[in-house]
Structure 1
């Protein structure tokens, strides 16, 4: 059986199965490969949908990841300059706000395992930043408190973290920072703690 031909490009006849016979394609640029202009129903609409689809790189979740990664890197650098790691800093800040917590309470506040908290607290005890003493009201509990050195370090760390926060949020005006803090706080409260292992961040006053 003889195939029908369809003119698809200047001076060339191309056999295009499925293209309506008897129609002549509009002339195209010589560099464009031969193809039938009748691409099938819905093809232009699908191209428009692909162009309109939101990109992953611009999604709020991905942007939050990038901002969080940058902030974490700067916070880690600030902590390392004082011979500390981020978890050390977090324990110091929590104890500065709430003195006399047990390790279990620290683990709950930070969303860490008891074993991880025990290691971090052990590091801070060895460095002289923290003490662990029996609770006089309940001898079964061991309370963790900052030493004088620990309070001094926590204050210095807090100032350093504030400077990093100012650096990260430099493009935002004060009102925008307030709105951002409110939005992030609401998101943190919304998250399922058991699934994400998060606690709402301490808000700076």
Structure 2
């Protein structure tokens, strides 16, 4: 089959497998990367804000943050302005782990896009971004 939807699904499945395997080898999961990257980009945030920034369901945010705080990659503390809410902060160890995961992700992109030239990679990325932006508003 050579329909765009089928080809996107095939490429997506392969991409997901590469990302899952690469992150697992680095002792992480996709949710970990997304949360660490959001903390790095936006700074300390509530669990609810992290869920909104990353598109991760609230219960999954809590579970992933439990893992990240357990490994020392993030810190959870009560919000001084609302003690019912937690503020999550990226730790120095979390920043180093995020850098390692960025390197893993760069390698994954290279493996996934290996048959394409640099120009074709840029074109594909631009086209996929345009499709995604169209459908997500």
- TM-score, with normalisation over the residues of structure 1? 0.61
Note if 1:62 corresponds to 2:62.
Answer: no
Is the contact made by 1:93 and 1:158 (CA closer than 8 Å) also made in structure 2? no
Residue of structure 1 in register with 2:27 after alignment:
83
Q: Deviations over 1:97-135 (max 9, x none)?
A: 222122112211222221111111111111111112234
Q: Which runs of 5+ in 1 are unaligned?
A: 1-56, 194-205
Higher mean alpha-carbon deviation, 180-189 vs 150-159, is at 180-189
Q: Which of 100, 103, 113 does residue 156 from structure 1 map onto?
A: 100
Tell me, what secondary structure is at the counterpart of 1:121?
Answer: helix
Tell me, what secondary structure is at the counterpart of 1:131?
Answer: strand
Tell me, what secondary structure is at the counterpart of 2:116?
Answer: coil
Residue of structure 1 in register with 2:122 after alignment:
178
Give aligned pairs, total. Answer: 136
Higher relative contact order (CA 8 A, sep 6+): 2
Tell me, what secondary structure is at the counterpart of 1:58?
Answer: coil
Q: Deviations over 1:63-116 (max 9, x none)?
A: 011111111111111111122222112212222222212211221122222111
Q: Which of 57, 82, 106 does residue 139 from structure 1 map onto?
A: 82
Tell me, what secondary structure is at the counterpart of 2:82?
Answer: coil
Provide the C-alpha distance between the structure 2 equivalents of 1:142 and 1:185, rounded to a whole number of angstroms. Answer: 33
Note if 1:189 corresponds to 2:122.
Answer: no
- TM-score, with normalisation over the residues of structure 2? 0.88
Q: Deviations over 1:35-69 (max 9, x none)?
A: xxxxxxxxxxxxxxxxxxxxxx2111110111111
Q: Which of 127, 147, 168 does residue 112 from structure 2 map onto?
A: 168
Provide the C-alpha distance between the structure 2 equivalents of 1:188 and 1:102, rounded to a whole number of angstroms. Answer: 27
Larger radius of gyration: 1
Residue of structure 1 in register with 2:48 after alignment:
104
Shift of 1:161: 0.3
Q: Which runs of 5+ in 2 are unaligned?
A: none
